[in-house]
Amino acid sequence: MADISFLILVFFLMVSTMDKEEGLSRRLPPLPSEDQKVEDQKVNRRNIIQVKINSNDRLYAGSEMMDVSQLKDKIKEFLTNPYDDPNLPEKEMREIAGLGQYPVSKGVISLQNDRGTSYSKYIEVQNELVKAINELRDQFAMQQYGKKFIKLDETKQEIVRKAIPQSISEAEPKDVKKK
């Protein structure tokens, strides 16, 4: 009996994979339809931050070159705009069910990469962007409910998600020139 079970056990050990499905979730933008006008997509300049990675894995955010470690704070400043700087994104009062009026930032992060960018760098930058947004959500959740975002229930999470949207747009592929 034990022998047979051992055999089956070994079989399962061989054929199985233990790796968990983990990763960064994203939604791709739908392809623009033919008749859609380009003007519709024009966003106010102050509402957009361009994060570019060139083929040498150099990172540019806004117009300045920076290290990945600085990106998170830059993004957080961009999305919160604490001093209502006219160069940073405007906020729009939006009615959120269950919360009331809340100034939601209209900022959009536009991520561009070159064909030569390495995937690990790209993920590293994506990760920093998500981290910035997660930290803002945590902060907001702490203020409103005194709990971290993950520990809130589904409806409250939805409210937080509406208040601080994850607005990362992966731009149309475009070659980022070496600067």
Partner 1 sequence: MARFIKNDKKETPAISTASLPDIVFMMLMFFMVSVSMRSTDRMVQVRVPQATEVAKLERKELCSYIYIGTPTPTYQAQYGTESRIQLNDSFRSTDEIRDFIAAERDNLSEVDRPFMTVSIKADQDTRMGIITDVKQQLRRCSALKIMYGARKAGKAK
At its nearest, how many Å lie between partner 1 and the CB of residue 147?
19
Does 34 sit near partner 1 (CB under 8 A)? no
Does 153 sit near partner 1 (CB under 8 A)? no
Candidates 22-30, 40-48, 73-81, 161-169: pick the segment binding partner 1 (CB under 8 A): 22-30
Binding mask 102-141 for partner 1 (x = CB under 8 A): -----------xxxxxxxx-xxx-xx--xx--x-------
The alpha-carbon radius of gyration of the chain (Å, integer) is 21
At its nearest, how many Å lie between partner 1 and the CB of residue 105?
20
Does 152 sit near partner 1 (CB under 8 A)? no
Count of residues binding partner 1 (CB under 8 A)?
42
Residue 92 contacts residue 107 (beta carbons within 8 Å): no
Residue 169 contacts residue 108 (beta carbons within 8 Å): yes
- Single out the residue of 131, 138, 139 nearest to residue 69, CA to CA: 131
97: number of CA atoms within 13 Å, CB side? 3
Q: Which one among 90, 138, 158, 170 touches partner 1, defined by CB under 8 A?
A: 170
CA 38 to chain centre: 24
Does 54 sit near partner 1 (CB under 8 A)? no
User: Which residues, at least 6 apart from 74, have a Cβ–Cβ distance to it below 8 Å?
Assistant: 49, 61, 62, 66
Does 178 sit near partner 1 (CB under 8 A)? no
Burial grade of 113 (CB within 10 A; 0-12, 13-18, 19 or more): buried
Which residues in this chain contact partner 1 in the complex, by CB under 8 A? 1-2, 5-6, 8-9, 12-13, 15-18, 20-31, 113-120, 122-124, 126-127, 130-131, 134, 170, 173
